[in-house]
Amino acid sequence: MKRTRESTRSPYSRLPAALALATTVTLACGTVSAAASQPSAPQAEDHGADKTASALSDVIPAPTSVEPERGAKFRVKWNTGIHAPRGNAEADRVARYLQQQLRPSTGYGLLINRGSPGRGDMVLSLDGSEQRLGDSGYRMDVDKERLTIHATTSEGLFHGVQTLRQLLPAEAESGSPRHGPWKVPAGEIVDKPRFEHRSAMLDVARHFFEVEQVKSYIDQIAQYKINYLHLHLTDDQGWRIQIDDWPKLTTHGGSTEVGGGDGGYYTKREYAEIVDYASTRNITIVPEIDLPGHTNAALSSYAELNCDGQAPPLYTGIEVGFSSLCVDKEVTYRFVDDVIREVAAMTPGRYLHIGGDEADSTTEEGYRHFMSRVLPIVEKYGKTPLGWHEYAKAEPSSDAMVQYWGTSNSNEEVSKAAERGNEILLSPANRSYLDQKYNEETELGLDWAGPTTVRESYDWRPGSHMNSVPEEAIAGVEAPLWSETLTTSNEIEFMAFPRLPAIAELGWSPQSKHDWSSFRERLAGQAASWQEQGIDFYRSEQIPWPED
């Protein structure tokens, strides 16, 4: 159910989602997408000023290895095709995605073929020669005759396409025809991620965001090779996901938000739409049902979940720590079982986040008892528990993941969890929380862990950030974006950019590539692309932005 107030624009969507997933038709020239059989936009001829393509190394996240070559650059022209492996639906999807990205700006047809690659084609190659790069890595070879992305999986191809987008002139991101030429520098890129888990988080509980707004954010984070989106679906201010067995969670608990707005929630169909859309961008959705605290919306919806049997009023403020499910009532565990069962059934990803943070109104003994009952429920429904670091004291099984959000470099429970074999996901609030103000003058955001500059978001080392936690225990990094002060897509973007690319680089690039001087220059180069996409961003004084 969508809220009644008008949604903000979805800045990045250029073509309908259906076009990206269009069925294919066979033509004499080969198999192309149905979209490709339609008349294209007027072709943008190459009679304008020569737009200088980015150097191979001017990419975020920084690639593992770059070998530039002198000589002519590859050029996308009116007769350039996209070659995809025959009989591979996932690779075909990546080809259609690339076609969708470049058609509006170039005006070219960019037909997809599965025969022999032609001269001047962009080639997506799936072969076994790049096993060293794993499922996510890729190799890109560029010369005057051809541009080829090699990978072992479609995920690797997709990541290579994100690099290609940055190597083209920024005008390639435009939603309308622009003048070329569309050149890519020659050379070789060999690239793979440092950490498997590279995540962003969007809080849709404090303020609700429509399906299209979430899709827009998915598109934006996918550019930087983020592969998980953690959705904070429940909190004191709102319950945002349909649960059939407990309908008042959304009809009542989802009816407001911070400041007293209309709120809203996702039906199961809408949630599935988000999950499916994210999968086309190689992003896995991680749903969070925050328990046992942060539950006022649920407590207000069902009186029996309260120890005194009295439902509190809905809450529209931003304080924390005052709510708790009644951990001594059996109905609480029937409720949790129903919720986890329904959420797990509509979530294909491995993880289900159960929160566990700031449960200040739950006794220590009650908290441990609650987790001892709830963690097996998560596993019963085929999911791996993930929770904020407070739940580590309940000693979850070694398969569970612990997410650290503290501001210090040490935490005894996190260290013990790592010793037990739990993977640790890092999102230190003073480094990676995107809702923290940039400086004292920033109108949006909070400052309890900040302000946090762009450099502070970038200049830390995940592998050695936590004392007594070895790098091999680190699953990756996450950039959470809490929405107490955010109500529009523009505001999401303003707080996420340019800090989200900083966290993305920490998750993807090897430590040897970590260099603030290089990063700030490469980050400045992203501005033109963001402007073409309509992405709002903060012009930090730490970054040498180009003059408008």
Find out whether 267 and 275 touch, Cβ atoms under 8 Å: no
372 sits in the region (left: phi over 0; alpha: psi -120 to 50; else beta) called alpha
| DSSP assignment letter at 12 | T
Name residue 222's amino acid: A
- Picking from 227, 170, 171, 163, the residue whose alpha carbon sits closest to that of residue 194 is 227
DSSP 102: H
SS3 125: strand
Spell out the long-range contacts of 12-15 with Cβ–Cβ below 8 A and sequence spacing 24 or more.
12/216, 12/219, 12/220, 12/533, 12/534, 12/535, 13/212, 13/215, 13/216, 13/219, 14/100, 14/101, 14/104, 14/175, 15/100, 15/103, 15/104
Strand partners, 142: 147, 187
Closest by CA position to 267, among listed 289, 244, 286, 246: 244
**What single-letter amino acid sits at 34?**
A
The count of other CB atoms within 10 Å of the CB of residue 313 is 8
Residue 260 CB coordination number (10 Å): 11
- In the set 196, 358, 413, 471, the catalytic residue is 358
Nearest 5 degrees, angle CA 116-CA 122-CA 124?
75
Identify whether 358 is a catalytic site residue: yes
Is residue 341 a contact partner of residue 381, using CB atoms and an 8 Å limit?
Answer: yes
Unique residue bearing structure tokens 């429920």: 377
> If DSSP codes are grouped into helix, strand and coil, which group holds residue 64?
coil
Structure tokens at 388: 């904020």
Tokens of 200: 């962003």
Instruction: Report CA 228 to chain centroid distance, whole Å.
Output: 5
Please give the structure tokens belonging to residue 365.
Answer: 């003994």
d(CA 511, CA 60) in angstroms, rounded, equals 14
Measured distance CA(482)–CA(501) in Å, rounded: 17
Please give the positions annotated as active site: 358
